[in-house]
Amino acid sequence: MVDEQLRARGIHDRHVLRIMEAMPRHLFVDDTLAARAYSDHALPIGDEQTISQPYMVALMTQALDLTGNEKVLEIGTGSGYQTAILAELAERVFTIERIPAIAAAARERLTALGYTNVVFRCADGTLGWREMAPFDRILITAGAPRMPAFLEEQLRPGGIAVVPVGESENQSLVKATRTEDGLAQRVLCGCTFVPLIGREGWASGNVG
Ligand code: SAH
């Protein structure tokens, strides 16, 4: 997976490559899908949600430019795979998931794996997590109709956010850096994430 899907496509951050080489991705999917856990696509995790494609996880993590000291906010815990990678590469991770069963499963999984630097919350993450702000990095792993407004206030100056933004079926992966003049944005690539549902996201049942 790491050689063919990540290195060959230009993922070069050695910390990201090392952690993804070591991370047991099969433990983040149902037993019936374990044989496909390292293949080149997203997989279902229940409730119409997915664990993201390995390459997309690598690309987003690399774009966050982590040094080990960061306080990170993740919206869309899902399986917890991306959360675990962030927990390895940053100091602390605050992660929000809106579906209770998915949130509970991820918490259980990461606790069993021994992670102690992750704080879980089950809520609508489109408003961020004001009590815990500011964050050095913010990662959204569901497709937002537009850049959520909370980024401007909850991202520390100089901080980086990575967000898929666009239509419900396909989005642009945007890297935003908070500067004195607001968010400096750059598109990294096209992508397809499940929709970000909530007050500042898509309306539930009205996606697409
Ligand atoms: N990084 C995860 C991706 C999971 S898919 C993984 O690789 O496993 C995206 C997740 O975002 C889904 O679990 C979905 O329920 C969640 N989500 C969607 N809208 C949300 C919101 N407003 N707040 C928190 N989580 C949200």
Secondary structure letter of residue 164 according to DSSP: E
Q: What percent of the chain has pLDDT over 90?
A: 97
Q: Which two tokens stand for residue 28?
A: 């983040």
Q: Tell me the average pLDDT across 3-9.
A: 98
Task: Find the DSSP H helices in 116-168.
Answer: 150-154
Atom 16 of ligand 1, nearest CA residue: 76
DSSP string, 177-196: EEETTEEEEEEEEEE---B-
> Active-site positions?
52
Ligand 1: which atom is nearest the Cα of residue 126?
22
Distance 10 CA to ligand 1 centre (A): 26
For the Cβ of 61 lying below 6 angstroms from any atom of ligand 1, the answer is no
CA of 142 to the centre of ligand 1 (A): 5
Q: Given a cut of 60, is residue 205 above it in pLDDT?
A: yes
Tell me: pLDDT of 32 over 60.
Answer: yes
Q: Whose CA is nearest to atom 11 of ligand 1?
A: 76
Question: What atom in ligand 1 is closest to the CA of residue 45?
Answer: 8
pLDDT category at 206 given cuts 50, 70, 90 is: low
Separation of 196 CA from ligand 1 center, angstroms? 7
pLDDT of residue 197 exceeding 70, the answer is yes
State both tokens at 170: 């396909």
- Is pTM beyond 0.85? Reply is yes
For residues 97-120, b (16+ Cβ closer than 10 Å) or e, as one string? Answer: bbbeebbebbbebbeeeebeebeb
The reported pLDDT for the residue numbered 204 is: 84
**pLDDT tens-digit series, residues 169-183:** 999 999 999 999 999
Peptide bond into 24 cis (omega under 30): no
- Give the pLDDT band of residue 165 (cuts 50, 70, 90): very high
Position 208 confidence tier, pLDDT thresholds 50, 70, 90: very low
The CATH number for 2-206, chosen from 3.40.50.150, 1.10.3720.10, 1.10.1040.50, 3.40.50.280, is 3.40.50.150
Q: Quickly count: other Cβ atoms within 10 Å of residue 182's Cβ.
A: 10
Mean of pLDDT values over 129-136: 98
151: tokens are 């980024």
pLDDT, average across residues 160-171 = 96
